[in-house]
Every structure is written in C-alpha cells, then in structure tokens.
C-alpha cells in the first residue's frame, strides 16, 4: 500500500472512529442513567444510577401523574357493588363467623358451649351468620366513602419501589425502549457527521489536541442532540409533507399501553390495593369501621334477648360481657378480614378495570403532560450526563489520536 493510499484511509477512518465514539458515549450515558443500583465509590467520588439515586423524587412525580391526571381512585371504588361483594365473600364470612362464635362462647361460657349439641351450635352459627352479609355491605360502603383516606397511592408506590430497586428502572426502560435505541444509534450517526468536519480540519491542521477536542464535542453534542430530538418539538410542526414531533411523543399510545400494563401488574394490583387498605395505610380506619358495624350488630342482637337475659344476669355484668364479645369479634375480623377479601379479587379486577382506564387516560394526555412522564429519567442530572459524555468523548478522542497518528 502506497503512503498516499495509506494516508487517505487513515483520514477516512476518522468519521468512522468518531461515530464509534458517539455511539460509545451515548451507550454509557444510558447505562449510567440506570446503573449501578447502589452507590459505588467513596463519596463524593463515585456513581449511582440517576434513576435509583432519585427513586423517591421520581416516584413522587409518577404518583402525582397518576393521581392528578390518570386515576381518581374514589370514582373507581364507587363502581364496586357492596351487596355483590358481600355475596362473593359469603362462604369465607360464614367460616369467619363460626370461628368468632366459637371464640366468644369459649371465652364467656366454655363449660356450656362444650356440652352444647352440634345441631344447637349450628343454629347459633346460622343465626349469627344471617346478619353478616348486611354488615359487610355497610362495611364496603364505608370503605368506599373513606377510600382516599384508606388508600395512600404514594406510599403504596414508594413501598413497591423501595422493596425492588429494579422496578423504577423497569418502568423507564420498557416505556422508553425505542428512545434508548435511538440514543444509541444517533450517537454513531451524529458522531460520523461531526467526524467528517473533523477529518477535513485534521487533513490541513492536526495538532495532538484536535482529536481529543473533537471527542469532547462529539460526546457532548451527540447526547445533547439525542435528548432534544426525543422530547422536542413538543407540539406537531408541519414541514411540507412531514410532521415534526418529539420521538417519545409520537409513541404515546404504545407507551400508554406498556405503562398501564407494568403499573397494574407490579404496583396497583388488586391484591396489593386491598391488602394495603386492610393491613397498612387503611388499617386504623378499617378498625373503626368494623368496630362500629360489628358493634351495631351485636347491640341489635342483644336488644332482642335483653329482657330474658337480664332476669338471670345483672345489667352491669351483661354490659361487661357484651364489651368482651365486641372485643373478641373485632379482633377476629381484623385478623382475617383481609383473607375474606381475596374472594372478590376477580370481580374487583373486572369492575375497577384500572389497566384499561390508565391506558385510555394516558393516551389522551396533552403532549406537555405526557412528556413529563419520561423526562424525569434524564432531567434530574441531564447536564451531568452530557458532561460525562463529553469527558468520555475526550478520552476516546485521545485514544483515537494515539491509534491513528502516534
């Protein structure tokens, strides 16, 4: 190969190597957005993925989007039919009632209850169980009226994210998969274009610092351009036969479907919602509701047998026993009510229809609001990412000079 041909190939390799630098720096920018999950290094020198390091703040933004624009949880719960819910839970409730009656009788009259024939016990079970569905109907109506107080969507989401650090990454990676592919590819395309300019300048003037400098420019500019093209323009702009719009915004329907699927399969599942209501944020309010409704049932039942009972038992003693019965009933229902709720999951899934509602609402979001969904993945440390891209580009440019011209 003659020196001239060798020199031509040498300079022609500059756009190619610049494209590789752009591709490499953009890939690193994406990786550094999501990884590592935990901080690596000794502060302040080290790195943690932008999303994992800002998980709390980003979760807050995601929940704000859910509660402000997409989900009105009280409206969805109002669609549940309390009577149908009570019917679905009937078998479990009867079993729970049976346990409660046994516990009450063994606490208050163990000798008598142990000698009571099974048929007689069954009469007691049936009598107590016959009123339970109406109690549960009222309980569900009370829960529906207090759902905003009982279901803390923000805490539910934050709890899910804190238990699984990969979850927030999964949401952004899946919903922005096409945009991240574009960032990777655009790094090569933009880097190659900058490389042509770099090649022309290097042919006439090629000091040692030129390729590192262009590496910095390529690393900075390719990241900056990629982010701009993903999110801008925010509104459709007609240019001849073409319509210009941010790449992410063009995929609104596709992203809405992906997002609603992840949210309803990993965070807002029917099971998690009802478990959260009955055992976490709504536990205190549920206790108040059950205490009130079970108390009403026990008082109304006692009123029917009050006169004959108080012939044999002093009124004060009867009230004392009544208080014990209420405490036992409340304790047992608080312990097992969440288990009974499992019977209504299929019905609640179908009726609440959270996935489809989320998808439809997200499809209808104005572009400005929709952009705010993925933008936080970059916005927190967007300039840091671009600068890191520039530094990596400079290092790669120095390596490029050594390999090509040393």
Q: Provide the token pair at 260.
A: 């609603």
| pLDDT, mean of residues 80-93 | 88
Residue with tokens 């402000």: 68
Residue 228 has pLDDT above 60, yes or no: yes
Q: How confident is the model at residue 29 (pLDDT cuts 50, 70, 90)?
A: confident
| pLDDT, mean of residues 213-219 | 79
Residue 75: per-residue pLDDT: 77
Integer angstrom CA distances of residue 248 from 172, 285, 372, 384:
12, 42, 11, 22
Residue 313: per-residue pLDDT: 45
Residue 306: per-residue pLDDT: 52
Q: Provide the token pair at 50.
A: 């932008």
Distance CA 329, CA 392 (A): 67
Q: Average the pLDDT over each of 74-88, 141-155, 232-246, 300-314 and give the range with the smallest value.
A: 300-314
Can you list the alpha helix ranges (DSSP code H) found in 342-381?
Answer: 345-352, 354-363, 367-374, 376-379
Long-range contacts of 305-308 (CB under 8 A, 24+ apart): none
Find, among 319, 328, 272, 277, the residue nearest to 299 by Cα.
319
| pLDDT, mean of residues 75-89 | 85
**Residues 165 and 52 sit within 8 Å (Cβ to Cβ):** yes
Find, among 394, 383, 285, 279, the residue nearest to 341 by Cα.
279
Residue 98 has pLDDT above 80, yes or no: yes
* 117 phi and psi angles, rounded to 5 deg: -60, 150
- DSSP assignment string, 238-289: EETTEEE--HHHHTHHHHHHHHHHHIIIIIS-HHHHHHHHHHSTTHHHHHHH
Residue 264 has pLDDT above 70, yes or no: yes
Residue 318: per-residue pLDDT: 55
pLDDT tens per residue, range 289-342: 988 988 888 777 766 655 444 444 455 555 676 778 888 888 888 888 888 888
Residue 310: per-residue pLDDT: 45
Considering the chain, what is the average pLDDT of its residues?
79
Find, among 332, 354, 180, 383, the residue nearest to 267 by Cα.
354
In 31-185, DSSP assigns E strands to 40-42, 45-47
pLDDT tens per residue, range 48-81: 887 788 777 777 776 777 666 677 777 778 888 8
Integer angstrom CA distances of residue 237 from 240, 246, 363:
10, 10, 20
**Residues 322 and 31 sit within 8 Å (Cβ to Cβ):** no
Distance CA 243, CA 236 (A): 6
| pLDDT, mean of residues 198-226 | 79
The helix (H) or strand (E) run that includes residue 237 is strand 237-239
- Report the percent of the chain where pLDDT is more than 90: 1
Q: Which residue would you say has higher pLDDT here, 162 or 346?
A: 346
pLDDT tens per residue, range 277-290: 888 878 888 899 98
Residue 406: per-residue pLDDT: 61
Residue 336: per-residue pLDDT: 87
- Report the percent of the chain where pLDDT is more than 70: 88
Percent of residues in the chain assigned helix, strand, coil, to nearest 5: 85, 5, 15
pLDDT tens per residue, range 340-390: 888 999 998 888 888 888 888 888 888 777 777 666 655 655 677 677 778
Distance CA 194, CA 240 (A): 27
Residue with tokens 């630098």: 21
pTM value surpassing 0.85 = no
């Amino acid at each position: 190969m003659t020196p001239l041909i060798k020199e031509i190939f040498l300079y022609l390799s500059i756009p190619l190597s610049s494209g590789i630098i752009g591709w490499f720096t953009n890939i690193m920018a994406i990786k550094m957005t999501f990884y590592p999950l935990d901080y690596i290094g000794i502060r302040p020198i080290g790195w943690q993925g932008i999303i994992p390091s800002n998980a709390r703040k980003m979760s807050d933004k995601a929940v704000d989007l859910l509660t402000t624009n997409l989900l009105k949880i009280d409206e969805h719960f109002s669609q549940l039919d309390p009577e149908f819910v009570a019917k679905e839970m009937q078998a479990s409730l009867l079993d729970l009632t049976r346990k409660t009656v046994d516990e009450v009788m063994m606490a208050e009259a163990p000798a008598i209850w142990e000698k009571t024939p099974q048929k007689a016990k069954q009469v007691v079970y049936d009598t107590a169980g016959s009123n339970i569905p109406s109690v549960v109907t009222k309980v569900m109506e009370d829960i529906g009226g207090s759902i905003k107080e009982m279901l803390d969507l923000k805490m539910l989401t934050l709890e899910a994210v804190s238990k699984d650090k990969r979850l927030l990454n999964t949401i952004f990676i899946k919903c922005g998969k096409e945009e991240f592919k574009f960032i990777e590819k655009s790094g090569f395309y933009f880097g190659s274009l900058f490389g042509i300019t770099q090649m022309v300048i290097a042919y006439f003037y090629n000091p040692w610092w030129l390729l590192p400098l262009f590496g910095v420019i390529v690393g900075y500019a390719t990241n900056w351009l990629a982010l701009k093209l993903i999110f801008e323009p925010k509104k459709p702009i007609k240019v001849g036969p073409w319509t210009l719009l941010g790449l992410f915004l063009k995929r609104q329907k596709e992203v809405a479907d992906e997002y609603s699927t992840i949210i309803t399969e990993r965070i807002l599942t029917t099971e998690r919602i009802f478990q959260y209501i009955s055992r976490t944020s709504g536990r205190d309010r549920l206790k108040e509701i059950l205490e009130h409704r079970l108390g009403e049932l026990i008082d109304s039942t006692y009123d029917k047998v009050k006169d004959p009972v108080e012939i044999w038992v002093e009124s004060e003693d009867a009230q004392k026993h009544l208080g014990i019965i209420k405490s036992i009933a409340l304790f047992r229902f608080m312990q097992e009510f969440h288990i009974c709720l499992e019977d209504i999951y299929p019905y609640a899934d179908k009726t609440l229809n959270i996935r489809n509602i989320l998808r439809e609402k997200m499809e209808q979001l104005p572009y400005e609001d929709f952009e705010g969904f993925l933008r936080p993945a970059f916005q927190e440390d967007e300039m840091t990412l671009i600068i890191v891209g520039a530094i990596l580009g400079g290092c790669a440019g120095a390596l490029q000079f050594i390999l090509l011209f040393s």
